[in-house]
A and B are shown apart, each in its own frame.
Chain A
Amino acid sequence: MPKLKLAIYWAAACGGCDVAILDLDEKILKVAEAADIVLWPIAMDYKYEDLTALPKDSIDVCLFNGAVRNSEQKELAHALRERSRVMVAFGSCACFGGIPGLANFTSREGVLERVYKTSPTTINKEGVLPQVESTVPEGTLTLPAFMNRVYTLNQVIDVDYYLPGCPPPADLIWAAVEAIVSGNLPPKGSVIAGTKSLCDTCHRVKEQKNLKGFVRPHQIIPDPEKCLLEQGLVCCGPATRDGCGHRCIKANMPCRGCFGPTGHIHDQGAKLVSALASILQATTEEEARQAAETIVDAAGTFYRFGLPDALLQRVKRREQA
């Protein structure tokens, strides 16, 4: 069997997804046995020309991590799509926007202002901002254009499979690699993870539904047997897809929602509003309001990994619209 041609690319990412691939440990050698890596910027030296020289469909699988937030990432996403038979959105950033997607609470101007002018560690007396083109004695220098918003990969190009997680856990990465190598691929559009919600498979005891309000993780030491949400911690389990092996729950920390919504949930935030309200005991509007005020940053908490994918933000590609 000819070896698979594999590309691994990163866009608006933290590098953790690439490291997660290295974390396959000795299995990485099996990946190397089955596949030739034709592009992997974090591990090997490549130039654009190495990619653009490749013909259409010459890459078997592209694992794309990171969201899309500048013109270079967008261009590379298109270039890789054109050359790849299978495109996998790898990790929460590529799938739903991830942590970089939280920038959608502000605008390009808001981000630049904060990063280059007002952050406490910045000294920038002349107020210099990055420019797409700048002229220096030696000639003209260019930078990718910083877009006004952050996009999920499937808002930019057609995606075949989704591998969620921040980062995806080794067993799911391996399951995906095996499926690809054996050619046993699930239907297009599948999410390579569980189908239920995290709560459906959580063993913690659920019994109390009379909360006055919520607390933050540093305020209590949670009981390791009881449901974290019922102890007042905002656990995103009710609105989050199963498949991570309950990584946070086992560490006695509430789920932050990195696996994204299950297929039945249209909006992680809306689902969490229902789930949280259902364990409150408020019987007056005032009590309900006080309970709601105990969540400091509702939207940032409920859409922590998926703001660009929220119903109120989601954009469609032209061919989907």
Chain B
Amino acid sequence: MTGSFEPKIVGILCNWCSYAGADLAGTSRLKYPANIHIVRVMCSGRVDPTFVLKAFELGADGVLVSGCRPGDCHYVDGNYKTMRRTPLLENLLSQMGVEPARFRQVWVSASQGEIFARIVEEMVKDLKEIGPYMRQGGEELA
């Protein structure tokens, strides 16, 4: 089963650094797995934790949020918001039965195409190991 399982990852990237980084990875022909579906937002600070939960609710196996490195945010401190939310969200997710490997928040600058490609590869590998995200549902009512 895990052999053929291709995890679906939603990558929410800020426009100014991380999306540019992912783009660089693409244009420099650094190969990274096609498992990631990229959503571009203006700033990682715009990533409401609801988006992350919603992605899982709609069937994502993993969610990656990436912003500019601390100090480099185009909107000065948008990524500090992200930084303050992340551990709270991680704690919430793990209590809700979402394994830690399924949610990652990273910083990727515009010149770090290679790092971006590596992060995606790692995430795909980890998710293949733990398998698809199973929502805890209500079998009796189905």
**Interface of A toward B, CB cutoff 8 Å:** 74, 104-105, 147-149, 151, 155-156, 266-267, 269-271, 273-274, 276-278, 280, 282-285, 288-289, 291-293, 295, 297-300, 302, 310-315, 317-318
Contact = CB atoms under 8 A, between A and B. Distances in A.
B98 A299 contact: no
B87 interface: yes
Nearest to B98: A312
Contacts of A267: 49-50, 53
A151 B137 CA distance: 10
A285 B49 contact: no
B32 to A, nearest CB: 24
B83 interface: yes
Contacts of A302: 92
B84 A299 contact: no
Contacts of A300: 95
Contact of A291 (B54, B84, B97, B135): B84
A266 B54 contact: yes
Given A105-B95, A274-B48, A283-B80, A312 B88 contact: no
A291 B88 CA distance: 8
Given A288-B84, A289-B87, A315 B49 contact: no
B56 A298 contact: no
B85 A311 contact: no
B86 interface: yes
Interface residues of B, number: 33
B76 interface: no
Given A282-B83, A310-B96, A312-B97, A295 B57 contact: no
B136 interface: yes
A285 B70 CA distance: 10
B85 A315 contact: no
15 contacts: A155-B141, A269-B92, A269-B96, A270-B50, A270-B52, A273-B49, A277-B81, A284-B83, A288-B86, A292-B90, A298-B91, A312-B57, A312-B96, A315-B141, A317-B141
B140 A312 contact: no
A299 B95 contact: yes
